[in-house]
Amino acid sequence: MKIELTAEQKMLQSEFKEFTDLEIEPYASLIDKEEYIPKDLINKLKSNGYLGSMIPKEFGGMGLDNVSIAILNEEIGRACSSVRSLLTVHGMVALAILRWGNEKQKRELLPKFASGEIIGAFALSEAEAGSDASSIQTEATSKDNMIILNGRKKWITMGQIANVYLVFSKYDGEPTAFLVKENASGFSRKPINGLIGLRGSMTAELFFENCEINSSSIIGRKGLGLSHVALNCLDYGRFTIASGCVGIAQSCLERSISYSYKRKQFGQELIENQLVQRMITGMVVDIEAARLLCYQAAFLKDTLDPESIMKTWIAKYFSSKMVNRVANDAVQIHGANGCSDSYPLERYMRDAKINEIIEGTTQLHEVLIGRNA
């Protein structure tokens, strides 16, 4: 089997790389330090159509195939995982509407998601419910023609700036997904700062205190929130995170090679040291393997192969472990410089750890893959 990008995919790769190098890379360190993505950068993502990369053209999106989506997330992830995380959670909500929303929801919301007029955030995790999503405590009850939400969500990526949240709650004891707008009565949010990594992902805690939403806000049907809606969203999230991990690792490799040719120790360049060569070799092989796993998962998604879910688990599991190995070696090659924020390696290392946790920890994936192998 020959794996090769098409001419269109190569063209998009060049476009994504140029955008990342020009518009994201110069500001990545500042985004990390200020824990905020500038509005101007978000507007550029909108104007380039990237927030609609996963949305079909009929709704105003780019309608990219999944290999191209993998490339986009790798390239943006190469510079800034926080910016990449915006594409992930926004896409998770948009695809939930596309797959499980009714026609009115699709026609009304998807064009706004595609243009970036609406920013979406995925609200599943709670203080006591992370990998075990079935233990969510947020409750929904009916009152007249309204639904009343009570509970809290935590660690919500882009929670500080989202306009619409895909919120998972128990509704008459059954897990159900709802769309909640930022201006809903009884809704509030609080920034979460000081994370070890992805500091610019504008994470928030959400509060629902007798929050009133319309009964038409349900996505899918009552009882399908976790088994159908969340599963579909998390599959996309894991896929894009895996591709983003490849991007971080690629940047670690490129900077390590450059540094090892410039840095001299004991009268010779670092690249002449066989132990450094071994670390770089490990990086090259790990990155190539992870990228191919992501492309394989993407191809299977594009061909609607049911094996794509398992392959996405494998890609996320391998890529998130891989990027931590690569980032660790990159810091090691850079020595004390790798521990300084004058170089981006320490940020890559911090971001890598977060990527091993979000959308399913390494241990959760070991259970999923082991049970279904």
295 and 200: one domain? no
- Classify strands 187-191 and 204-214 as parallel, antiparallel or unpaired: antiparallel
DSSP assignment of 195-240: -SS-TTS--EEEEEEEEEEEGGGEES-TT-IIIIIIHHHHHHHHHH
**DSSP annotation of 338:** G
Same domain, 139 and 210: yes
Q: Would residue 142 count as lying in a domain?
A: yes
Q: For the chain, how many structural domains are there in total?
A: 3
- 1 within domain boundaries: no
Average pLDDT (64-83) is 98
| pLDDT bracket for residue 1 (50, 70, 90) | low
Contact indicator for 178, 122 with CB cutoff of 8 Å: no
* pLDDT tens track for 108-161: 999 999 999 999 999 999 988 777 777 899 999 998 889 999 999 999 999 999
* CATH number of the domain that residue 11 is part of: 1.10.540.10
pTM: 0.95
Determine the structural domain holding residue 294 and report its residue range.
226-372
Residues 315-332 pLDDT 10s: 999 999 999 999 999 999
Could you list the active site residues? Answer: 359
H or E stretch covering 187: strand 187-191
CATH number, domain containing residue 230: 1.20.140.10
Measured between alpha carbons, how far is 371 from 373 in angstroms, rounded to an integer?
6
Final residue before a domain boundary, out of 115, 130, 148: 115
